[in-house]
């Protein structure tokens, strides 16, 4: 016997145990090769090895067959085939196919099985939510990922012009108290940051050129103080948030492309030329009068709302910095840097009585790099004026602003970009009592707007109480009248 042959009769085939497959044992072929008379040929060995590989593959499948088939949904019911068949006879379809429809039932089952603990848990959860509803919604609205409230900082300029220049009277204190309280309430509603800055004329500026040009410094400080915030909303002290239920996100920032406009030609009380063309306005301008890049020449910048870094309302006289938004960016750093310059100041400080506002208008007009990143917003969205500021209130058209179409020649009155005055009917967001210190009554206006805001934002219960009280009074008055008539 040569060593080529299998050494073991009993086990059959080759000596390694893995080679004995059920097939070999069943058909007995392998025994035929082991009777010792037949030589082991190359072809046979190959056939054997092929079979070995084959059976190995089968072995894998058979070894894992159960597990694999178990994991497949429709083979899982092993010996219960007949039950499902029954079910199908009843026309119910397969359970796994209609899993979504069955979800409520399953949940019900789950609950019914652990009824008590689940009920207790749900109750406790509800109680926690009810009890801590304010802090939870505050936290939710603040988070930068969910609500995004901490991305907004309100800079409130308090104590304007106070300090060394003049003493504040009781009315000024009352205005300040009301205004601050109003912003605090708004901020606590939506999770924004509030930075109240003291704008009193400080000694360090009193003998300096930069007297009361602190807006730039204040914005810079706020940016340093809130390093994670994105948008900074400047508010003068004489402003009042009329609708604390409006969030900045839903009111303005979620659809900047619709709430703002970039083309200065849309509403242009200053008659700023756009596109910027040369500087001297000379009709025989030389060869390259317009050498600027297309983005600066475009009325819309690049058209992407993400490139807006400054949002300003325009009143009847031009830019209004009583309420404006500025976004943290490299562009903003540059603007804040160039906003105040000693050479500009030296030449213009007598002329620029609105200081930063005039300087910004000047820079916007004369430095083309600014334009692609500035957007304008209609005054009534963020900075509505009371009647008397910037002329008289023209009111809304009869059908409201929705009735005014650009083509039909109707007077738009206070609608759209030239709308300036506060409209109670439209529930405008913020009112700015601009210029009330010159001949108007600041405290009176503030008081009236506060009362109006409270009345407009009453809760249902308060509404009901007011309605009840009113109707009672009315009926009382009527009955008194009747009595008087009867007596008379």
Partner 1 sequence: MPRTQFPYPRKSSMPSPYTSARTSPYTRRRTLKALAPYLLAGLALLCLLIWLGSGGSSSAATYRPPGTPEVVIVTTIDPRLSESYKKNIKENRQDYASRHGYATFFPNTTDYDLMPNSPETWSTIPALRHAMTKWPHTPWLFYLTGTALIMNPAESLQDKVLEPRKLESMMITDRPVVPPDSVIKTFSHLRGERVDFVLTQDREGLAGGSLLIRTGEWAKFFLDAWYDPLYRSYNFQKAEGHALEHIVQWHGTILAKLALVPQRILNSYSRDSGGGNDDGLYQEGDFIANFHGCQRDQSRNCEEEMGPLMNRWRELRDQERRK
Output the DSSP codes for 290-357. ----HHHHSTTTTS-GGG--EEEEEETTEE-TTEEEEE-SHHHHHHHHHHS-HHHHHHHTTT-TTTHH
Minimum gap (Å) between residue 67 Cβ and partner 1: 9
Shortest Cβ distance from residue 264 to partner 1 (Å)? 17
Distance of alpha carbon 93 from alpha carbon 90, whole angstroms: 8
Query: Whose Cβ is closer to partner 1: residue 163's or residue 368's?
Result: 368
How far is residue 324's CA from residue 382's CA, in Å, rounded to a whole number?
8
106 scored as a contact of partner 1 (CB under 8 A): yes
Q: Which two tokens stand for residue 326?
A: 């500025």
Is 352 a residue that touches partner 1 (CB under 8 A)? no
Q: How far apart are CA 416 and CA 400, in angstroms?
A: 11
Do residues 322 and 157 make contact, with C-beta atoms less than 8 angstroms apart?
no
Choices 39-47, 258-266, 362-370, 444-452; region in contact with partner 1 by CB under 8 A: 362-370
Q: What is the C-alpha separation between 446 and 452, in angstroms, rounded?
A: 10
Applying CB under 8 A, does 304 fall inside the site for partner 1? no
Of 32, 57, 278, 395, the one binding partner 1 (CB under 8 A) is 278
Rounded-to-integer distance, Cα 161 and Cα 175, Å: 14
User: Tokens 């497959």 appear where?
Assistant: 21
Which residues is 324 bridged to in the sheet? Answer: 234
Q: Which of 45, 50, 109, 120 binds partner 1 (CB under 8 A)?
A: 109
296 contacts partner 1 (rule: CB under 8 A): yes
- How many residues in the shown chain lie near partner 1 by CB under 8 A? 48
**Which string of b and e fits 339-355 if b means at least 16 CB within 10 Å?**
bbeeebeeeebeebeeb
Closest approach of Cβ 301 to partner 1, in Å?
A: 12
Report, in this order, helix, strand and coil percent for the chain, each rounded to 5.
Answer: 50, 10, 40
Q: Which part of the chain contacts partner 1 (CB under 8 A), choosing from 17-25, 41-49, 76-84, 387-395?
A: 76-84
Give least dist CB 157 to partner 1, A: 24
Rank residues 40 and 216 by Cβ distance to partner 1 and give the closer one.
216
Interface with partner 1 (CB under 8 A), residue from 366, 475, 479, 482: 366
Both structure tokens of 130: 């009810």
Give bridge partners of residue 406 from the DSSP assignment: none
d(CA 333, CA 339): 10
- Is residue 270 near partner 1 by the rule CB under 8 A? no
306 forms part of the interface with partner 1 (CB under 8 A): no
Residue 481 interacts with partner 1 (CB under 8 A)?
no
H/E element, 30:
helix 29-32
**Does 291 contact partner 1 by CB under 8 A?**
yes
Contacts 24+ apart (CB under 8 A), 12-18: 13/48, 14/48, 14/52, 18/52, 18/56
Whole-number minimum distance, CB 267 to partner 1, in Å? 24
Site string for partner 1, 17-56 (x = CB under 8 A): ----------------------------------------
Please pick, from the candidates 39, 70, 441, 480, the single residue that binds partner 1 as defined by CB under 8 A.
70
Sole binder of partner 1 in the list 87, 185, 225, 425 (CB under 8 A): 87
247 cis-preceded (ω within 30 degrees of 0):
no
Which range binds partner 1 by CB under 8 A, 9-17, 205-213, 276-284, 460-468?
276-284
Task: Please select the residue that binds partner 1; options are 143, 279, 454, 482, rule is CB under 8 A.
Answer: 279
The least CB distance from residue 342 to partner 1, in Å, is: 6
List of residues contacting partner 1 (CB under 8 A): 70-73, 76-77, 83, 86-87, 90, 95-96, 99, 102, 106, 109, 278-280, 282, 285-289, 291-294, 296, 330-331, 333-334, 337-338, 341-344, 347-348, 362, 366-370
């Amino acid at each position: 016997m040569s060593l080529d042959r299998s050494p073991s009769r009993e086990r059959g085939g080759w000596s390694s145990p893995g080679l004995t497959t059920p097939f070999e044992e069943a058909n007995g072929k392998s025994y035929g090769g082991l009777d010792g008379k037949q030589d082991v040929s190359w072809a046979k060995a190959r056939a054997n090895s092929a079979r070995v590989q084959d059976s190995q593959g089968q072995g894998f499948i058979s070894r894992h067959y159960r597990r694999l088939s178990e994991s497949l949904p429709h083979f899982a019911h092993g010996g219960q085939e007949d039950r499902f068949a029954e079910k199908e006879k009843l026309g119910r379809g397969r359970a796994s196919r209609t899993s979504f429809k069955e979800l409520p039932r399953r949940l019900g089952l789950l609950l019914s099985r652990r009824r008590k603990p689940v009920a207790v848990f749900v109750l406790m959860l509800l109680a926690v939510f009810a009890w801590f509803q304010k802090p939870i919604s505050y936290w939710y609205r603040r988070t930068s990922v969910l609500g995004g409230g901490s991305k907004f900082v309100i800079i409130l300029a308090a104590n304007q012009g106070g300090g060394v220049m003049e003493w504040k009277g009781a009315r000024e204190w009352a205005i300040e108290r009301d205004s601050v309280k109003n912003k605090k309430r708004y901020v606590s509603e939506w999770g924004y940051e509030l930075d109240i800055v003291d704008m009193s004329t400080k000694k360090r500026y009193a003998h300096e050129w930069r007297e009361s040009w602190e807006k730039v410094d204040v914005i810079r400080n706020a940016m340093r103080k809130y390093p994670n915030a994105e948008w900074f909303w400047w508010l003068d002290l004489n402003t009042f948030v009329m609708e604390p239920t409006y969030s900045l996100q839903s009111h303005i920032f979620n659809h900047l492309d619709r709430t703002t406009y970039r083309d200065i030609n849309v509403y242009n009380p200053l008659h700023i030329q756009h596109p910027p063309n040369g500087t001297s306005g000379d009709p025989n301008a030389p060869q390259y009068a317009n050498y600027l890049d297309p983005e600066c020449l475009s009325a819309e910048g690049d058209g992407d709302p993400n490139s807006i870094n400054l949002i300003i309302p325009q009143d009847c006289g031009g830019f209004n910095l009583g309420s404006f938004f500025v976004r943290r960016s490299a562009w903003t750093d540059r603007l804040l840097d160039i906003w105040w310059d000693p050479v500009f100041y030296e030449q213009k400080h007598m002329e620029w009585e609105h200081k930063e506002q005039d300087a910004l208008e000047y820079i916007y007009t004369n430095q083309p790099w600014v334009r692609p990143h500035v957007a304008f917003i209609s005054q009534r969205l963020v900075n509505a004026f009371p009647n008397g500021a910037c002329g008289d209130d023209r009111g809304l058209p009869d059908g409201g602003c929705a009735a005014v179409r650009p083509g039909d020649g109707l007077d738009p009155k206070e609608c759209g970009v030239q709308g300036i005055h506060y409209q109670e009917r439209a529930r405008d967001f913020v009112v700015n009592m601009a210029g009330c210190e010159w001949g108007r009554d600041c405290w009176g206006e503030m008081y009236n707007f506060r009362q109006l805001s409270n009345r407009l934002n009453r809760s249902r219960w308060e509404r009901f109480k007011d309605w009840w009280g009113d109707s009672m009074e009315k009926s009382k008055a009527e009955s008194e009248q009747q009595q008087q008539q009867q007596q008379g």
